[in-house]
């Protein structure tokens, strides 16, 4: 599909990508919608926590959060509220170690953990035979969603009909390099602080496998992923991890109607995170590039309280123009 035109226009004073990113993450408030927690026991001995909002609907949206987020993030609950209001059951899942309780295994989560998304899909279908499933992902969760769709192609569960993803680092290595830039230093510090806390919390259970010496000196994702993410998840190094898990390589395999929205002024995304060629060559992938929006921002001030990303998602899932 050609790149689709965007209807998003930033409110006055919100054209800057950093302003949108910070405002949406730290200022916006949304009440928790997905209040019913279900624990999924995984065959490898670990677990995933799934938070749900159920109203007996025949369709369900599965929401995947971003790096160092959880199902309780404002952007997740804002999307859950909009979808639930429009006749969807909602299942917002937490990546391993992100639900407020450390996971059991040495491994935790990463940008390519698409098998865990498949576990969630199976669990949701086992609870109720939904006629339709939509996948919605944000940032890292969007990368996982696109990878899952592309690597499984036409062998997805038949109920999966659509996907919408926002602010996706389709090229993980390029995005990591961009986040290492001086103008993104505040975000990098925030991510590394919480990731380091997860490593320290996991060490007592795995003292022989986890070394925290010098952890406080790590300043980039290349250093963190090279020392922890890659070896704990079977990759040779950070670059091997990024190469094998970047969703851009999987886009040609997508076989369900999918909308990818990456803002032009997203401070986290490098030029290679805008897959123009893949979108033009695909009949399934719709790429939308608003001029503004920041990273998981897309701030709007409307009477419903919904942000543009939430309005756009509900319209797309109702079969509206791509």
245 pLDDT above the threshold of 60: yes
The gap between the terminal CA atoms of the chain, to the nearest Å, is 9
At residue 7, φ and ψ (nearest 5 deg) are: -90, -5
- Identify the band that residue 2 occupies on the pLDDT scale cut at 50, 70 and 90: confident
What are the φ and ψ backbone dihedral angles of 62, each rounded to 5 degrees? -105, 120
Q: For residues 193-210, give the mean pLDDT.
A: 96
Report yes or no: 309 and 261 within 8 Å, Cβ to Cβ. yes
Residue 321 scores a pLDDT above 60: no
What is the dihedral sign for C-alpha 246, 249, 250, 255? Answer: positive
C-alpha dihedral (299, 272, 2, 155), degrees to nearest 10? -100
Mean pLDDT to the nearest integer, 11-39: 97
Instruction: Tell me which residues are annotated as active site.
Output: 139, 266, 295
Mean pLDDT of 233-253: 98
Whole-angstrom CA distances from 18 to 14, 21, 60, 259, 309 are 9, 5, 32, 23, 17
Task: Please state the rounded mean pLDDT for residues 193-201.
Answer: 97
Task: Please compute the mean of the pLDDT values over residues 246-274 and round it to a whole number.
Answer: 98
Structural fold of domain 17-171+252-317: Rossmann fold (3.40.50)
Confidence check: pLDDT of 210 > 70 = yes
Please give the share of the chain, as a percent, with pLDDT higher than 70. Answer: 99
The pLDDT of residue 320 is 64
**pLDDT tens-digit readout, 72-110:** 999 999 999 999 999 999 999 999 999 999 999 999 999
CA atoms within 13 A on the CB side of 296: 27
Q: What whole-number distance in Å separates Cα of residue 218 and Cα of residue 221?
A: 8
Give the pLDDT confidence of 109-138 residue by residue, as tens digits.
999 999 999 999 999 999 998 999 999 999
What are the domain boundaries of the chain?
A: 17-171+252-317, 177-245
The pLDDT value recorded for residue 125 is 96
């Amino acid at each position: 599909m050609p790149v689709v035109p965007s209807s998003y226009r930033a409110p006055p004073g919100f054209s800057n990508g950093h302003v949108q990113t910070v405002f949406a993450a730290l200022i916006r408030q949304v009440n928790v919608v997905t209040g019913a927690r279900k624990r999924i026991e995984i065959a490898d001995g670990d677990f995933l926590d799934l938070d749900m909002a159920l109203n007996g609907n025949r369709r369900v949206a599965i929401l995947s959060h971003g790096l160092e987020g959880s199902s309780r993030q404002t952007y997740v609950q804002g999307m859950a509220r909009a979808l639930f209001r429009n006749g969807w059951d909602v299942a917002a899942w937490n990546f391993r170690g992100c639900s407020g309780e450390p996971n059991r295994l040495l491994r935790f989560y990463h940008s390519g953990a698409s098998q865990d998304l498949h576990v969630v899909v199976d669990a949701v279908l086992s609870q109720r035979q939904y006629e339709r499933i939509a996948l919605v992902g944000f940032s890292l969760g969007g990368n996982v969603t696109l990878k899952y769709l592309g690597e499984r192609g036409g062998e997805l569960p038949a109920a999966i009909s659509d996907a919408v993803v926002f602010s996706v680092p389709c090229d993980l290595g390029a995005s990591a390099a961009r986040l290492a830039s001086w103008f993104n230093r505040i975000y990098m510090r925030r991510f590394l602080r919480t990731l380091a806390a997860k490593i320290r919390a996991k060490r007592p259970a795995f003292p022989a496998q986890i070394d925290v010496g010098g952890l406080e000196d790590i300043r980039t994702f290349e250093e963190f992923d090279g020392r922890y993410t890659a070896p704990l998840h079977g990759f040779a190094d950070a670059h091997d991890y990024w190469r094998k898990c970047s969703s851009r390589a999987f886009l040609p395999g997508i076989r369900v109607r999918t909308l990818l929205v990456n803002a032009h002024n997203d401070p986290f995304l490098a030029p290679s995170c805008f897959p123009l060629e893949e979108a033009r060559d695909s009949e399934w992938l719709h790429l939308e590039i608003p001029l503004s929006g920041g990273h998981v921002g897309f701030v709007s001030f409307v009477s419903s309280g919904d942000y543009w990303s939430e309005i756009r998602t509900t319209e797309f899932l109702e079969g509206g123009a791509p």
